């Protein structure tokens, strides 16, 4: 033991001084931790008809978005809708609202909601409606994916179940990133009717409609 030489520096251990500095760093016990910040949320709504506007108004009242992008084909109409929403923001949390026909404004969206499509005429079948809306979706979905490759896609256009499947195929996204509104509306209507019949609050009713949003529904 008496012959062992005492080391006095990193050099004695064969460690280069510069490397040693990069390995052995001072620890500051009073360092300030980074404060988590709220993530920025952007939502796009495609088509600002009655359904699209109802969605937009609901989103704004929930304080879940920092930027809302509205896309449509009738420029004058949805510019007016945008102004209505912008003027209402005086009573809402701060949010930026844009409207255009150019899909560039949808870039970097977290969620894209597709409400665009033809309405079903009395003499049309659901298959007729599907063909009309399929052509519309072939134009919409690739543009959304190009501008927001990391987004979620939510489909509310009818026939919603088939169009959700088509959107998934057109997008190339994994299935967990393409969602349809499904039977949410049917369930809401069912709960209202039960609550009205029983004379209770609809929020106290636990009831659901499952199956296809259309002709194949089952009440639970």
Catalytic annotation, residues:
213
Label residue 90 exposed, middle or buried (CB < 10 Å: 0-12, 13-18, 19+): exposed
Residue 185 backbone zone (phi > 0: left; psi -120 to 50: alpha; other: beta): alpha
**CA 209 – CA 187 distance, rounded (Å):** 5
Take residue 28 and report the two structure tokens written for it.
């500051």
Q: Which two tokens stand for residue 64?
A: 């879940």
Question: Are 179 and 171 contacting, i.e. CB atoms less than 8 angstroms apart?
Answer: no
Rg for the chain, CA atoms, rounded = 28
Do β-strands 209-211 and 217-219 pair in parallel, antiparallel, or remain unpaired? antiparallel
How distant is the alpha carbon of residue 60 from its chain centre?
Answer: 14
Which tokens in the block code for residue 167?
């959107």
């Amino acid at each position: 033991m008496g012959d062992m030489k005492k080391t006095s520096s990193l050099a004695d251990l064969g460690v280069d001084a510069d490397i040693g500095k990069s390995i052995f760093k001072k620890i500051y016990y009073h360092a300030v931790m980074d404060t988590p910040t709220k993530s920025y949320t952007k939502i796009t709504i495609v088509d600002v008809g009655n359904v699209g506007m109802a969605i937009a108004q609901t989103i704004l009242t929930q304080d879940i978005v920092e930027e809302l992008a509205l896309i449509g084909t009738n420029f004058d109409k949805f510019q007016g809708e945008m102004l209505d929403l912008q003027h209402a923001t005086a009573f809402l949390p701060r949010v930026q609202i844009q409207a255009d026909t150019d899909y560039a404004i949808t870039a970097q969206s977290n969620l894209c909601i597709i409400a665009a499509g033809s309405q079903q005429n009395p003499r049309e079948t659901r298959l007729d409606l599907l063909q009309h809306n399929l052509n519309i979706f072939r134009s919409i979905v690739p543009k959304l994916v190009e501008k927001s490759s990391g987004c979620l896609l939510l489909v509310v256009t009818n026939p919603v179940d088939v169009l959700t499947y088509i959107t998934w195929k057109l997008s190339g996204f994994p299935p967990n990133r393409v969602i349809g509104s499904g039977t949410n509306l049917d369930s809401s209507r069912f709960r209202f009717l039960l609550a009205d019949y029983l004379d209770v609050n609809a929020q106290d009713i636990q009831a659901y409609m499952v199956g296809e949003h259309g002709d194949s529904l089952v009440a639970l």
